[in-house]
Structure 1
Amino acid sequence: MANEVSYSTFDVEKLRQFTIDIFLKMGVPANDAALAADVLIKADLRGIDSHGVARLSGYVRLWQKGRINPTPNIRIVHETPSTATVDGDAGLGLVVAPKAMEIALQKAEKVGSGWVSVKNSNHFGIAAYHALMAIEKDMIGMSMTNASPLVAPTFSTERMLGTNPICYAFPAGKYPPVIMDMATSAAANGKLEIAQRKDVEVPSGWIQDAQGNSTSDSNGLKKGGSLLPLGSDRDHGSHKGFCLSSAVDILSAVLSGASYGPWVPPFVAFLEPLDNQPGQGLGHFLGAMRVDGFRPVDEFKSHMDNWIHRFKSAKTTSEYTSVIIPGEPEAEAEIERNQSGIPLISVVVEDLRCLATKLEVEFPKEL
């Protein structure tokens, strides 16, 4: 039986300041603390509750275990006019990835496109944050990252890959940008964590148990199971999810020198990275392309608007009134939450209150 779920709503800027204060307590410099907080708050604003301030405790625990460097020397270790490899020096991925994306944008401004592969980083929040940075410059953005191994490849019961999200961001004119932000697993681990907080089952096809049987138990991973690739099983195309996840892993880690596959360091602090690491930390891959490298920006945006309008007017099943454009629900959530505040589930609120007490940081009052 599901636990009763309650929410509290918090002012956006007060929650942002609380998040900054937590990062400052970790020894993160002020500018980096503000940037890291912005990435997390952006997730909450866009309705991606699993990757917002609910993740704060995880970053703090990793820092306490010495696995996050609060003052990293983020540097380029290899580059060409259009590409670079960045060493994140074990910094917060929330800081490393945006700075790497800035490098990609600078290269794109000079030569038309920029591509940056990152090693020695940590969890970078929502992929959309980094891809969206390109939209502000009328560019197409791309971001992806490998992650802790929780996903079994097709025909396996062994955790070999992360949820390995990938995001594309396309600017439009009168419409919001088209943002394709998705895990390459059947479901993001964050959705599983939300189900665990609510004590509810998950849909069939998300998880398999240790023997490879489908399970709806939201605690299935804790019992030795694994997440399934996008597609769930071979009959429904899991080999395609496996291929997408593999591409993310290779571009993010094999290309950069980060650890890959089953060697990716776990996000949870009580699990130590495996011995004989083939690389350093987590890996990301970020890219930017100038639209005007292909056609005038205004023309592109006009046709993007036409694309969106036509898809929005497509015939629908009786259950739905219109097609949902990628990124549309998140854009609507961001407008609504900027006005009314950010809702947090009770278990997250309690976790943040405990964190505030431990680090002697004032926790904001709910609205």
Structure 2
Amino acid sequence: MYLTFTQSTLRSFTQNIFKAMGCSQEHAILAADVLLKSDLRGIDSHGVARLSGYVRLWEKQRINATPNIKIVHETATTATVDGDAGLGLVVAPFAMKVAIEKAEKYGSGWVSVKNSNHFGIAGYHALMAVEKDMIGFAMTNASPLVAPTFANERMLGTNPMCYAFPAGKYPPVIVDMATSAAANGKLEIAQRTGKNVPEGWIQNADGEYTTDPHALKTGGALLPLGSDREHGSHKGFGLSATVDILSGVLSGANYGPWVPPFVAFMEPAANAPGEGIGHFVGAMRVDGFRPVKDFKTNLDNWIERFKASETINDSQKVIIPGEPEREAEAERTTNGIPLVLAVVDDLNAVAEKFGIEKLVADA
């Protein structure tokens, strides 16, 4: 069962929860904006459904609601940011602003981040660069839930990466994806709705395929993009490794099996080599390569040609990266955001804890 809410209702509720945690007004507004962007774009696994997880980590003193986010290493075009255990929803936009400022001066800017937490959807941060006629990059490592090709041990996170390109008369092209066969949030959605997941997403504790979305709780693991060696899982493993190295090894954050878990009941691994979760963001000025107008005209042409490509049958169409999310945002902006009842109950339990007015469906 789903209940529907306007974005203003969810935004106000989410801001109030973050402020109850001790976040400043500025940080509460920003953090809520990142989560709402996810829900609007149809990425339900990373929206307000994650809010109770942030609260539980804050209660365990693993999230600092009042961080001193700062640059700790810097050159003209690069920087490393220490997030001071703050919300990744706040730390990553800070880092992207640094990258954009460097790109404005020197053509490109690259920032690694350590000592952060879960940063929501990568697309939010990459799109910040697009607004400045830049190409945006954003990636993050994550809790170890994925077994590398041929392994039966969780070593990597879902480790998403995003590339965003500004177009002219069309919306940006946004490639935003996990490097695992599926994002963990999709398992959580399946768990809440009582559904199985497709074969090829997870392996059980014995390394065998399973469709049980609860398999991670009994020693199973997510699989890399490609699912198995015969279908290219080594490529997904390679992409995930790239994200982990840029986000963790380069910044001084944790990496591989030492990345802290998002769930509060699991303690971070002992003898961790770094600090917190790591991100990597970047911005490149389009006019560092060619006039912006020319690039956008050609990207519009690219979009049109791909949309016009011959399909297998008339009922199908080529989908440009970012198109489903844009369509979801248009629909949900008008008709509201649906939340499964289990998520609403979870959020209202958090509201009751803080003495905040509970969510009531708008429709």
The answer to whether the aligner puts 1:56 opposite 2:51 as a matched pair is yes
Q: Which of 276, 282, 298 is residue 287 of structure 1 equivalent to?
A: 282
The answer to whether the aligner puts 1:169 opposite 2:169 as a matched pair is no
Q: Deviations over 1:249-270 (max 9, x none)?
A: 0000100000000000000000
> How many Å apart are 1:320 and its aligned residue?
3.6
Q: Distance in 2 between matches of 1:284 and 1:271?
A: 21
| Larger displacement relative to structure 2 (248-257 or 313-322) | 313-322
Counterpart of 1:42? 37
> How many Å apart are 1:366 and its aligned residue?
1.0
1:24-173 to structure 2, matched below 5 A, reads 24-173=19-168
Q: Deviations over 1:255-293 (max 9, x none)?
A: 000000000000000000011010000000000000000
SS at match of 1:305: helix
Aligned letter for 2:243? V
Q: Distance in 2 between matches of 1:293 and 1:94?
A: 29
Counterpart of 1:186? 181
SS at match of 2:73: strand
Q: TM-score, length-normalised on structure 1?
A: 0.98
The answer to whether the aligner puts 1:14 opposite 2:26 as a matched pair is no
Runs of 4+ in 1 over 2 A off after TM superposition: none
Aligned letter for 1:229? P
SS at match of 2:212: coil
Counterpart of 1:273? 268
Q: Which of 184, 208, 212 is residue 213 of structure 1 equivalent to?
A: 208
Q: Deviations over 1:192-248 (max 9, x none)?
A: 111111111111100001111111111111111000000000000000000000000
Gaps of 5+ in 1: 1-5
> How many Å apart are 1:319 and its aligned residue?
6.5
Aligned length: 362
Q: Distance in 1 between matches of 2:13 and 2:302?
A: 41
The answer to whether the aligner puts 1:360 opposite 2:355 as a matched pair is yes
Counterpart of 1:232? 227
Q: Distance in 1 between matches of 2:214 and 2:312?
A: 34
Counterpart of 1:3? none
| Larger displacement relative to structure 2 (226-235 or 6-15) | 6-15
Flag the 1:279–1:133 CA change in 2: closer, same or farther, 3 A: same
| Larger displacement relative to structure 2 (283-292 or 337-346) | 337-346
> How many Å apart are 1:301 and its aligned residue?
0.4
Flag the 1:319–1:237 CA change in 2: closer, same or farther, 3 A: farther
Gaps of 5+ in 2: none
Aligned letter for 1:359? F
The answer as to whether partners of 2:344 and 2:359 remain within 8 angstroms in 1 is no
SS at match of 2:282: strand
Q: Distance in 2 between matches of 1:9 and 1:286?
A: 33
> How many Å apart are 1:159 and its aligned residue?
0.1
Aligned CA-pair RMSD: 0.7
SS at match of 1:248: helix
